[in-house]
Amino acid sequence: MRRYSGFALVREAMRGHKGWGQQWSSPEPKKEYDVIIVGAGGHGLATAYYLAKEHGITNIAVLEKGWLGGGNTGRNTTIIRSNYLYDESAGLYDHAVKLWENLSQDLNYNVMYSPRGVMMLAHNVHDVQVFKRHIHANRLNGVDNEWLTPEAAKEYCPPLNISQSARYPVMGAALQRRGGTARHDAVAWGYARAASDRGVHVIQNCEVTGVRRGGNGQVTGVETSRGFIGAKKVGVVAAGHTSVIMEMADVRMPLESFPLQALVSEPVKPCFPCVVMSNTVHAYISQSDKGELVIGAGTDQYTSYSQTGGLHIIQHTLDAICEMFPMFTRMKMLRSWGGIVDVTPDRSPIIAKTPVSGLYVNCGWGTGGFKATPGSGHVFAHTIANDNPHRINTAYTIERFNSGRLIDEAAAAAVAH
C-alpha cells in the first residue's frame, strides 16, 4: 500500500498524481473464504480490517449489494460520543472513542475525527434528572461528561438560544468534550483500503441471496448474485436489511426497520462550533468542515425499507432547529435524504454468535451506529475469530430479549442515540 502523507502528496502533485494506485482492489470472488462479511459498511469493513490486523485472518471477503459505504455509513450525521448510561454501553462506546482518537494514524487515512464536543440540552426537570444520572454514572465509569449551566452552554455554543421565554427554555446541558464528528465516507474508505491492503477482498455489486448450511446445520457459504461463495464463518452486518439476510438462515431477528432522514444546509463560513442534541425538541445539529449545517431528523412512525421519508418529518426537525437557533431561518436546505435503521426492542445493538454454528451477527444500531464503528468492528472481529465474544460485547446477545437482560438505553435515557 502506498502510504499517504504530506510528503507523498507533494511528490505526486509534481507528477500529476499519476502514482496513486487504487485505494482498494476489486477482485473476482474466490470459491471459498475463511470468513465472509455480509455488508461493506463501516462496521463490516472495520470487522474485516481487525480480523486481518489483530487475528491474522486475511482470507476474507466483504460482500456488498451496492457500493461500499453506501448505506447508513454514508447517510448519517456523524455524531461520535460515549456518554451512555449503562456499564455495557459505556464500555462499548468508549472503546470506540479510544479507537477513534488514533484511527487516522492507524488506517493511514484522514477520517477527520474532530472532538469538538457534543452538548445535549436539558429542557425540563426530567431531562435534568436523566442527564445528571448519566454524568454520575459516566464519572464512575471513567467517561468524560460534565454538567453546564445555560450560560456555560451558551458560551460553549454561542448561537444557542437560552432565553427563558423560549417554549422549552434550556435548563442546562451535558457536555462530552471528547465527543464530536468524523468524515463518514473516509471511515468506510479508510477501512476498505487498509483491509484490502491486508489481503481482504472487498466485493461490491454482489448481493447475498441465500445462506447455505451443511448437514450439521453449520454455515458453509452464501448464495450471491455472482454465484455461490463458500465460507467457514459468515458475519452479517447488513444494518436495515439484517433481518432479511438472517431469515435466509432461518434466524428471526428482534429488529424493526424504519426510515430515518437527515439534511444539510448550503455551506456557510464557520458559525457553529460543536454538536448540539436536544431530545425534548427533537433535533441535532453540527457544521461540517465544508460549512454545511448537518441536521438529523427523526424516524418515520412506520416500518419501511424505503430510503426516503415525508416532508413533515423534515418540518418538525427544522421547527426545532429554528426554535433553538432563530438566526437560521434564512439558511436554505440543500439536500435531504433517508436511510434505513434497524432498531432492537432495547435500542442497543446485537453483536453476537447466533443459534446457527458459524453464523455471527452485528446489527440493531438504530439511529446511532456510526459512533461505534471502530469499536463495533473490533469486538465483532474478536467474536468471529474466537467463536466467543470479547469482554466488551458479552452482554450484546440475541438471547437477552428472551432472558430479559436488556441494555435499555432508550428507556433509561429517553435520549436519542
Residues numbered 176 to 215 that lie near other proteins (CB under 8 A) are: 183, 185-186, 189-190, 204
The SS3 call for residue 181 is strand
What is the residue-wise DSSP string for 85-102? SSHHHHHHHHHHHHHHHT
Which of these segments, 97-105, 214-222, 224-232, 367-375, binds other proteins (CB under 8 A)? Answer: 97-105
Q: Does 21 sit near other proteins (CB under 8 A)?
A: yes
| Mask for 341-380, x = binds other proteins (CB under 8 A) | ----x-----------------------------------
b vs e for 341-373, b when ≥16 Cβ sit within 10 Å of the residue's Cβ?
bbbbebbbbbbbbbebebbbbbbbbbbbbbbbb
Q: Which of residues 101-130 bind other proteins (CB under 8 A)?
A: 102, 104-105, 108-110, 112-116, 123-126, 129-130
Locate cell 432472558: which residue? 403
Choice between 96 and 384, CB closer to other proteins: 96
Choice between 24 and 396, CB closer to other proteins: 24
Smallest gap, in angstroms, from Cβ of residue 43 to other proteins? 18
What's the grid cell of residue 273? 462550533
Which of these segments, 54-62, 132-140, 215-223, 239-247, binds other proteins (CB under 8 A)? Answer: 132-140
Choice between 158 and 215, CB closer to other proteins: 158
Q: Which of residues 146-165 bind other proteins (CB under 8 A)?
A: 159
Edge-to-edge order in the sheet of strand 172-176: 146-148, 172-176, 118-122, 275-278, 283-287, 293-299, 256-265
Choice between 29 and 291, CB closer to other proteins: 291
- Residue 155: count of CB within 10 angstroms of its CB: 11
Q: How far is CA 80 from the centre of its chain?
A: 9
Which of these segments, 46-54, 207-215, 266-274, 363-371, binds other proteins (CB under 8 A)? Answer: 266-274
Smallest gap, in angstroms, from Cβ of residue 179 to other proteins? 13
Q: Does 310 sit near other proteins (CB under 8 A)?
A: yes
Q: Which of residues 221-240 bind other proteins (CB under 8 A)?
A: none
Which of these segments, 27-35, 307-315, 359-367, 371-379, binds other proteins (CB under 8 A)? Answer: 307-315
Q: Does 394 sit near other proteins (CB under 8 A)?
A: no
DSSP state of 3: P
What's the grid cell of residue 287? 457544521
Q: What is the Cα–Cα distance from 331 to 293, expressed in whole angstroms?
A: 9
What's the grid cell of residue 417? 442515540
Q: Does 17 sit near other proteins (CB under 8 A)?
A: yes
What's the grid cell of residue 192? 476498505
Q: Does 266 sit near other proteins (CB under 8 A)?
A: yes
C-beta separation of 294 from 264 below 8 A? yes
Q: Does 66 sit near other proteins (CB under 8 A)?
A: yes
Q: Does 1 sit near other proteins (CB under 8 A)?
A: no
Q: What is the Cα–Cα distance from 264 to 280, expressed in whole angstroms?
A: 21
Q: What is the Cα–Cα distance from 381 to 115, expressed in whole angstroms?
A: 26
Choice between 116 and 233, CB closer to other proteins: 116
Q: Does 331 sit near other proteins (CB under 8 A)?
A: yes
Q: Does 329 sit near other proteins (CB under 8 A)?
A: yes
Choice between 14 and 215, CB closer to other proteins: 14
In this structure, what is the dihedral angle of CA atoms 368, 373, 377, 380, given to the nearest 10 degrees? -20
Residue (of 43, 64, 71) closest to 260 by Cα position:
71
Among 337, 357, 394, 397, binds other proteins (CB under 8 A): 337
